[in-house]
Structure 1
Amino acid sequence: MDLNTVTEIRDARHPAPWRPGDAWLGGGTYLFSEPQPHLRRLVDLSRTGWTPVHRHPDGALEIAATCTIATLSRYAKTLPDPAAPLFEQCCRAFLASFKIWNMATVGGNLCNALPAGPMTSLTAALDGECLLLAQDGTRRRRPVTGFVTGAGRKDLAEGELLRSVTLPARSLACRTAFRQASLYGLGRSGVLVIGALDPLDGSLAVTVTASTVRPVRLWFPLPPTAAALRAAIGSAVADDEWFDDIHGLPAWRRHMTFRYAEEIRRELGEAAR
């Protein structure tokens, strides 16, 4: 879709004062998908030259906001870590054509803050941390579970930029389990639950996305009982935090979340034993 109110595209490599009507341009798959009458200038990140995925000496994985879904998928195939299969599972959870897959970015998916955003699911489940850059150069870090605060809401100030997401080495060493549900084949996720079992201490993290308005990550020092897991989810998700749209009613999303969480508890609990 043409954005006929945009009068300028600025290269992000050349800083200039942020002004009303500005927006960051990554892959553009959301910006150009619907009218944006409030926009006047796009700040293009495509030439920043950020390394899409970088492995730190301590084993942590830093994913640039400009990394495309296709690039992340290809990179994940080379990962030797136990959590590597989860990357492809989440990349494939996109409701997207090959064109979108090759243009959509990890940062864009996170900043859209849609409940069904699979990059939110992936990075929240692996205890990811966002690096945010303000216009004055100030840096701050937020866990993904605190960055996405609701449906379409994120902890991002005016002009602030999501630079990257870092996944700790310990999370990459986890054995994972993945469950996803949609109301129709190849449809948008209505429920997505991920479990991550830590091989070092036997702890279990269960992350709920798509069915809730924000990512919910629950950590247990040991795999819990079925009753304890159900109680923890019920306590963590308020009644009005079960997402409600055309892709699924709250009651269905809640039911499937409990069902999948229990399946994951059994699968990874048996692995722990």
Structure 2
Amino acid sequence: MDLNTITTVAHPESRAQLPVWAAGDAWLAGGTWLFSEPQVHLARLIDLTDLKWPALTITDTHLTISATCTIAQLDALVCPPDWIAAPLINQCCRAFLASFKIWKTATVGGNLCMSLPAGPMISLTAALDGVCTIWKAGGGEQKIPVIDFVIGSQRNRLTPGDLLRQIDVPLPALKRRSAFRQISLTPVGRSAALLIGTLDAHRALTLTVTASTVRPIQLSFKKPPDAVALRDAIAEQINDEEYHADVHGKPFWRKHMTLRLAEAIRGELLDMARP
């Protein structure tokens, strides 16, 4: 869709060249949502592509995903053999309600910043202990765990002029056993519940609940719980008001599926851990 209110497109090549944020500004990365509907309140786009951030960087401690990394680039990442949680990357990429054409344009950062409950990049990076680096509008940086970055449906911790720079995923998180479950009302529909479980070398289990809830919610157990303890923990830590409601699923059904998928994940991880 043409944005006929735009009068200027800025092309900064470094942080120093980022223009002073003003009302009517918007960051432009993939633009798949930005150009999908009228944005009559906007007058200037700030194009991030000329910053030329490396899409993916592997260090001794982290996998760094730039905010401008496309879904296609992330999906194509060749992971080391000891990253046994790596299948989550491809599973979450395929949880998008989007065609392969969109994959080549849509960005990881855009998915986080849209902060939709069904955002699969939120699911992935939250489950793998990702940490956002935010360039603050007034200067400096702020680091926020992904699990705390999204605070509600289409709500996050960014303030006007803030820019998500990258997400750092610690390598130990990629070396945990993992299990993935996702369900939609229709075969290729938007996720109504997307849960990820991980199990570390000390048998600590972490369950990350997304899509069924308005924000990502994480439950941690020092050892795998039994079925009753898992169900009780979900009931205690997820209030009924936090289950999302829209045309893709009613809260009662999402809650039911959350409990069902969580138990399936628990069983799969326990089977993996058996000698």
Q: Structure 1 length normalisation: TM-score? A: 0.97
Corresponding residue number in structure 1 for 2:108: 106
Residue of structure 2 equivalent to 1:156:
158
| 1:133-212 alignment runs, 5 A limit | 133-199=135-201, 201-212=202-213
Mapped to 1, the partners of 2:148 and 2:79 lie a distance apart of: 29
Q: Counterpart in 1 of 2:245? A: 244
One-letter amino acid of the structure 1 residue matched with residue 228 of structure 2: A
| Equivalent-residue separation in structure 1 for 2:254 and 2:3 (angstroms) | 35
What is the CA–CA distance in structure 1 between the aligned matches of 2:18 and 2:31, rounded to whole Å?
A: 20
Q: After the TM superposition, which residues 1-273 of structure 1 pair with which residues of structure 2 at under 5 Å, given as runs?
A: 1-13=1-13, 14-58=17-61, 60-75=62-77, 77-80=78-81, 81-199=83-201, 201-273=202-274
Which amino acid in the other structure matches residue 132 of structure 1?
I
- Which stretches of structure 1, 4 residues or longer, exceed 6 Å deviation after superposition? none
Which secondary structure state, in structure 2, belongs to the residue aligned with residue 108 of structure 1? helix
Cα distance in structure 2, aligned partners of 1:144 and 1:265: 23
How many angstroms does 1:98 deviate by?
2.0
Tell me the distance in 2 between the aligned counterparts of 1:208 and 1:152: 17
For structure 1, the 5+ residue unaligned runs are none
The code of the aligned residue for 2:123 comes to: S
CA distance in 1, matches of 2:110, 2:130: 16
CA shift for structure 1 position 12: 2.9
Query: What letter is aligned with 1:118?
Result: P
Q: Unpaired runs of 5+ in structure 2?
A: none
Cα displacement (A) at 1:79: 3.6
Identity %: 54
Match of 2:163, as an amino acid? Answer: L
Give the secondary-structure state (helix, strand or coil) at the position aligned to 2:160. coil
Deviation of residue 57 (structure 1)?
1.7
**TM-score calculated relative to the size of structure 2:** 0.96
Count residues in correspondence.
270
